[in-house]
Amino acid sequence: MEPLFNQTFTWLFRIDWIQYITAAFILVIGVIIAYLIKRLVFKTSIRLLPREASTILSRLVYYGLVIVFVISAFSTLGIDLTGLVIAGGIVGIILGFAFQSVTANLVSGLFLYWERPLKPGDLIEVEDHVGRVVDISIMSTKIITWDGVLVRVPNRKIFESTIKNYEKTPVRRIEFTVSIAYKEDAEKAYKVIRDVIEKHPLVLVNPEPDIYVSELGDSGVNIKVRVWVPSKNMLWYEAAKDLLWRIKKALSSAGIEIPFPQQDIWFRTPLEIKLMDQYKSKT
């Protein structure tokens, strides 16, 4: 029993306690520093990113710093973790390829939060989908389309696509074409359309409305109408519908004909019309 006690006592004296104390000190201080930096990253990023994204980013920073300090602590004890780091790097590369789409959506979501081209409640068009944004998460964006269908679009596709935000600006321009028959007075039609536009409550005075003959079509004279209206709360949509209806009624009241497609057919040689015998007998 005494030899075993002596061996244990000797072993305790052989241990380099300074190295162990230094390693423990590095580990404890490192965890404290990582925690403080984590809180700093969260408080800074929460001003620019949603809470979910800020939490994920701060945790990534925290665990990354903890791993660095753990490796430093083991290095102080003379333990070489190079092989483990290399193995972890290889595993990380494999997982990176395996979760490539997930990583792309995650990074795209962070960039979307940073750039802010859209927000919940905006009316947008992206990936052939038109509707209102109801939710933006770190991985995907959810849109309610015109027909009430919920569409989930990965953030990577939104980030790589052209986004049309119909209500990002306070005003927007709408345009449509009004066609009148060739026999009608274009100047009179212009005045009728101008009068309807000037009396409409949603049409802005500045920028000034633009009305002009855009094309001499096959069936009539096409007049282009461009006006600026408020974009919020679907007012641009209501203005477009109401303006067309009012212009149509005003032109009809003024006796101005809106043409329908028509075509004249000419024959090179005279045509002979032959009646069947049964019709001849009746006449």
One-letter amino acid of 12: L
Domain-embedded: residue 125 = yes
* DSSP per-residue letters across 134-176: EEE-SSEEEEEETTS-EEEEEHHHHHHSPPEETTSSSEEEEEE
| Predicted local distance difference test score (pLDDT) of residue 9 | 46
Same domain, 150 and 176: no
pLDDT digits (tens, 9 = 90+) for 198-246: 999 999 988 899 999 888 888 888 999 999 999 888 888 889 899 999 9
Domain-embedded: residue 273 = no
Same domain, 29 and 68: yes
Same domain, 92 and 32: yes
Domain-embedded: residue 40 = yes
Q: Give me the helices (H) in 77-134, please.
A: 82-98, 100-115
Domain-embedded: residue 105 = no
Contact predicate 65/57, CB 8 Å: no
Domain-embedded: residue 136 = yes
Paired sense of beta strands 210-216 and 221-230, if any: antiparallel
Domain-embedded: residue 186 = yes
Q: Which two tokens stand for residue 3?
A: 């030899």
Same domain, 123 and 176: no
Same domain, 185 and 234: yes
Domain-embedded: residue 124 = yes
| Predicted local distance difference test score (pLDDT) of residue 63 | 78
| Predicted local distance difference test score (pLDDT) of residue 90 | 56
Low-confidence ranges of the chain (pLDDT < 70): 1-17, 19-20, 48-53, 56, 77-111, 113-114, 262-264, 271, 273-283
pLDDT digits (tens, 9 = 90+) for 151-175: 988 888 887 788 888 888 889 999 9
How far from 221 is each of 178, 181, 215, 248, 260, CA to CA, in Å? 8, 6, 6, 15, 11
What is the total count of domains within the chain? 3
- Point out which residues pair with 124 in neighbouring strands: 131, 165
Q: Which helix (H) or strand (E) holds 213?
A: strand 210-216
Domain closes at, from 131, 165, 199: 165
Domain-embedded: residue 266 = no
Q: What CATH number is given to the structural domain containing 200?
A: 3.30.70.100
Domain closes at, from 110, 133, 165: 165
What order do you get walking across the sheet with 150-154 strand by strand? 150-154, 140-145, 129-136, 123-126, 164-165
CA atoms of 78 and 217, how far apart (whole Å): 87
Q: What CATH number is given to the structural domain containing 36?
A: 1.10.287.1260
CA atoms of 155 and 235, how far apart (whole Å): 29
Same domain, 238 and 198: yes
Range of the domain at 51: 16-98
CA atoms of 134 and 126, how far apart (whole Å): 14
Q: What CATH number is given to the structural domain containing 140?
A: 2.30.30.60
